[in-house]
Chain A
């Protein structure tokens, strides 16, 4: 049985008249026991087999090796399958149209089927996801996870078709997305990953793919509790400004609320293993008088309809500016991390559209924020697209020649955050 705890970090003191209450909530899960019920889990690997995957041919070969590595990491008894995606979706391994429990024999059969995949045709990601959904829905598994690999843009269906597929898949399974090469679109894949509560990353070198697929599968196998929701109660007259996961990566959950009544809503967080995640909650409440204390939010975690832990977000009004102006370090850190992701994406967008002044300003600010926040990895990526003159003030110049893969890596990883003090707040 997984145990959850929630800790709140905030400055609960508000100046008179102030209405916005910000808090960082760290949720820790421990004691996840995935081994108890392998039949409760299901895994699907979706690989892009569009014509471009053989240009160069190393891409498809690497994708096959990576899929084999993922299959090897699936625990005995976990239902699994493999989908070949082009402008159509086809289950290359799902005998009799169903996922099968992993055994040495079924793993060998699946790897043989993967080895026979030929590349031809286009890209229709929504179609691939809908087939995965059908296969998942035919199992009893509660923990459902997919890995999606693509090398190109979603050219063979409309944005509306993709959105409607995503809506149909939300809450059915989670999906980690990977882009290989530089012909895919970061924003598009990020949209798919965030809708399906998964990660997104770039695989710069096809040879790195197998290790990444194995790691993703192992992480998925370590999950013990499916469909955990963050429940937020707010008082009458309050507005939830936003609810975001802010570590390990930024995922805005605000629009994912399922209201239970006027004051309570559930936000999906997906499946949990032994891990810690941080959430930033911002609530606008009715201002009250000096000395008044209000419960601005009651956060709890809901597993199988059971409320299992609670954390309180409070507001206390004071006329003492020394209290109300105090900066909570956790809230400040994650406010900076969210701005960092924003200015990287906006800076790169400006650069692509030829607006060098905006690009220089935004990416300069990114260097400053990444320096303050201790985002070593992001700084290294920024260094490949910028000449950094002074990281403290964000004085930078755009590099004349930038490798496409460096720009895409920076964009893709912009939402990855570091935790305050490096580990946990």
Chain B
């Protein structure tokens, strides 16, 4: 290590050695070094040990959260993958996926990057909404009521996320899409422009309607879908989860399929790269019909990244089988 990138403890500023995991002076944990050169600061090249626990590089100050470039979870009947977009310094998407008894709870959130702490907001919303959904799911309670209550819980959780600065107008906020699946019944709830799709053999259906400027323009007959999407305001969302949003009930849709299929939850990082009707389904047309949820999630994220995804991409895939039905 050269003297130029001298390392200091992010807590007390005592000098550190490249391999230190804890500060000799104050004992603070230091982001651990990795042999993987990819963990070096992408801006100034300082080693991973130069990154403080709050994500800021202690040499150039640029924020990049350690280890969050790609996160994967495979629960066999359901799987999720989240990858940081090419132009982002940190992944501001978050997901929470749980198998509860014979059911599945999934929540996908996209932190709003022009607000403070978007990543923390998405994390808080996904975790709190999933926790609030899993018990009613297990106890056989009504899934629509449970979904509305879970979104309110997410609002409260994001409300408690501290903004890193006291900026009254840019409070932490995020989008949210949730799925509660039990006995072949699926309840999807959403706020903002993260989406849910229903994929069956050879068919794709979007289950959600974006809370966005573009969607509202089209719905009001003011523009065609192409004109609206070309506008710079297209992605401005009209509803979100956060302290400065009214805690309205989420939009809900209920699905009780007769045949098996895959439920896909995703952030706009995926559908930006596959905007047309049927585009998501065509991305996985190459896969075997019995591909696992994990294989589908990987494939969708890889395809979005290959198309140069600027934004963070998060995909959750859940196998849905009607009672008595066969595997898809």
Q: Which residues of B contact A11 (CB under 8 A)?
A: 167
Q: Does B73 contact A (CB under 8 A)?
A: no
Among residues of B, the one whose C-beta sits closest to the C-beta of A306 is: B12
Q: Mark A261-301, 1 if CB is under 8 A from B, else 0.
A: 10110000000000000000000011011011111101010
Instruction: For the complex, give the distance between the alpha carbons of A150 and B208 in Å.
Output: 78
**CB of A18 to closest CB in B, whole Å:** 15
Contact between B12 and A307 (Cβ–Cβ < 8 Å)? yes
**Which of A263, A286, A293 interacts with B89 by CB under 8 Å?**
A293
Contact between A291 and B61 (Cβ–Cβ < 8 Å)? no
Contact between B114 and A295 (Cβ–Cβ < 8 Å)? no
Instruction: For the complex, give the distance between the alpha carbons of A312 and B11 in Å.
Output: 12
**CB of A121 to closest CB in B, whole Å:** 50
Q: Does A13 contact B (CB under 8 A)?
A: yes
Known: A264-B13, A291-B89, A294-B61. A10 touches B56 (CB 8 A): no
**CB of B87 to closest CB in A, whole Å:** 7
Please give me the 4 A-B residue pairs with the lowest Cβ-Cβ distance, nearest first. A235-B61, A295-B56, A295-B61, A293-B63
Q: Does B222 contact A (CB under 8 A)?
A: no
Instruction: For the complex, give the distance between the alpha carbons of A133 and B276 in Å.
Output: 79
Among residues of A, the one whose C-beta sits closest to the C-beta of B169 is: A326
Q: Does A233 contact B (CB under 8 A)?
A: yes
Known: A236-B60, A291-B89, A292-B89. A8 touches B13 (CB 8 A): no
Q: Which residues of B contact A289 (CB under 8 A)?
A: 87
Q: Does A216 contact B (CB under 8 A)?
A: no
Q: Which residues of B contact A307 (CB under 8 A)?
A: 11-13, 26
Contact between B61 and A312 (Cβ–Cβ < 8 Å)? no
Q: Does B2 contact A (CB under 8 A)?
A: no
Q: Which residues of A contact B87 (CB under 8 A)?
A: 289, 291
Q: Does B255 contact A (CB under 8 A)?
A: no
Number of interface residues of A (CB under 8 A): 41
Number of A-B contacts (CB under 8 A): 82
Q: Which residues of B contact A261 (CB under 8 A)?
A: 6, 8
Instruction: For the complex, give the distance between the alpha carbons of A307 and B8 in Å.
Output: 13
Q: Which residues of A contact B165 (CB under 8 A)?
A: 8-10, 12, 23, 312, 314
Instruction: For the complex, give the distance between the alpha carbons of A222 and B44 in Å.
Output: 47
Q: Does B88 contact A (CB under 8 A)?
A: yes
Q: Mark B51-67, 1 if CB is under 8 A from A, else 0.
A: 00010111111110000
Among residues of B, the one whose C-beta sits closest to the C-beta of A7 is: B166
Q: Which residues of B contact A263 (CB under 8 A)?
A: 59
**Which of A8, A236, A237, A260 interacts with B166 by CB under 8 Å?**
A8
Among residues of A, the one whose C-beta sits closest to the C-beta of B61 is: A235
Q: Does A323 contact B (CB under 8 A)?
A: yes
Q: Does A320 contact B (CB under 8 A)?
A: yes
Q: Does A318 contact B (CB under 8 A)?
A: yes
Contact between B11 and A296 (Cβ–Cβ < 8 Å)? no
Q: Which residues of A contact B43 (CB under 8 A)?
A: 288
Q: Does A238 contact B (CB under 8 A)?
A: yes
Given contacts A235-B61, A293-B62, 6 further A-B contacts (CB under 8 A): A12-B167, A235-B60, A289-B87, A292-B62, A296-B61, A312-B164
Q: Does B259 contact A (CB under 8 A)?
A: no
Contact between A10 and B167 (Cβ–Cβ < 8 Å)? yes
Number of interface residues of B (CB under 8 A): 30
Q: Mark B104-124, 1 if CB is under 8 A from A, else 0.
A: 000000000110100000000
**Which of A231, A288, A298, A318 interacts with B62 by CB under 8 Å?**
A288
**CB of B231 to closest CB in A, whole Å:** 15
Contact between A285 and B61 (Cβ–Cβ < 8 Å)? yes
Instruction: For the complex, give the distance between the alpha carbons of A289 and B62 in Å.
Output: 11
A residues contacting B by CB (< 8 A) are: 7-13, 23, 231, 233-238, 260-261, 263-264, 285-286, 288-289, 291-296, 298, 300, 306-307, 310, 312, 314, 318, 320, 323, 326, 328
Q: Which residues of B contact A234 (CB under 8 A)?
A: 61
Contact between B114 and A320 (Cβ–Cβ < 8 Å)? yes
Instruction: For the complex, give the distance between the alpha carbons of A285 and B62 in Å.
Output: 11
Q: Does B131 contact A (CB under 8 A)?
A: no
Q: Does B29 contact A (CB under 8 A)?
A: no
Name which of B26, B61, B89 has the most chain A CB atoms within 10 A of its CB: B61
Q: Which residues of A contact B149 (CB under 8 A)?
A: none
Instruction: For the complex, give the distance between the alpha carbons of A237 and B61 in Å.
Output: 10
Among residues of A, the one whose C-beta sits closest to the C-beta of B232 is: A319
**CB of A310 to closest CB in B, whole Å:** 8
Contact between B13 and A233 (Cβ–Cβ < 8 Å)? yes
**CB of B51 to closest CB in A, whole Å:** 11
Q: Does B99 contact A (CB under 8 A)?
A: no
Q: Does B170 contact A (CB under 8 A)?
A: yes
Q: Which residues of B contact A323 (CB under 8 A)?
A: 114, 170
List, sorted by A's number, 30 A–B pairs whose CB atoms are closer than 8 Å: A9-B165, A9-B166, A10-B165, A10-B167, A12-B165, A13-B114, A13-B170, A235-B60, A235-B62, A236-B59, A236-B61, A260-B13, A263-B59, A285-B61, A288-B43, A291-B87, A291-B88, A291-B89, A291-B113, A293-B62, A293-B63, A293-B90, A295-B57, A298-B56, A306-B12, A307-B11, A307-B12, A310-B11, A312-B165, A314-B164
Among residues of A, the one whose C-beta sits closest to the C-beta of B92 is: A291
Please report which residues of chain B, range 113-151, place their CB below 8 angstroms from some CB of chain A when the two chains form the complex: 113-114, 116
Instruction: For the complex, give the distance between the alpha carbons of A312 and B166 in Å.
Output: 11
Among residues of B, the one whose C-beta sits closest to the C-beta of A26 is: B166
Instruction: For the complex, give the distance between the alpha carbons of A104 and B103 in Å.
Output: 82
Q: Which residues of A contact B61 (CB under 8 A)?
A: 234-236, 238, 285, 294-296
Among residues of B, the one whose C-beta sits closest to the C-beta of A261 is: B6
**CB of B90 to closest CB in A, whole Å:** 8
Name which of A234, A292, A293, A298 has the most chain B CB atoms within 10 A of its CB: A293
**CB of B16 to closest CB in A, whole Å:** 13
Q: Which residues of B contact A236 (CB under 8 A)?
A: 44, 59-61
Please report which residues of chain B, range 155-193, place their CB below 8 angstroms from some CB of chain A when the two chains form the complex: 164-167, 169-170
Q: Which residues of A contact B56 (CB under 8 A)?
A: 294-295, 298, 312
Q: Which residues of B contact A9 (CB under 8 A)?
A: 165-166
Contact between A294 and B13 (Cβ–Cβ < 8 Å)? no
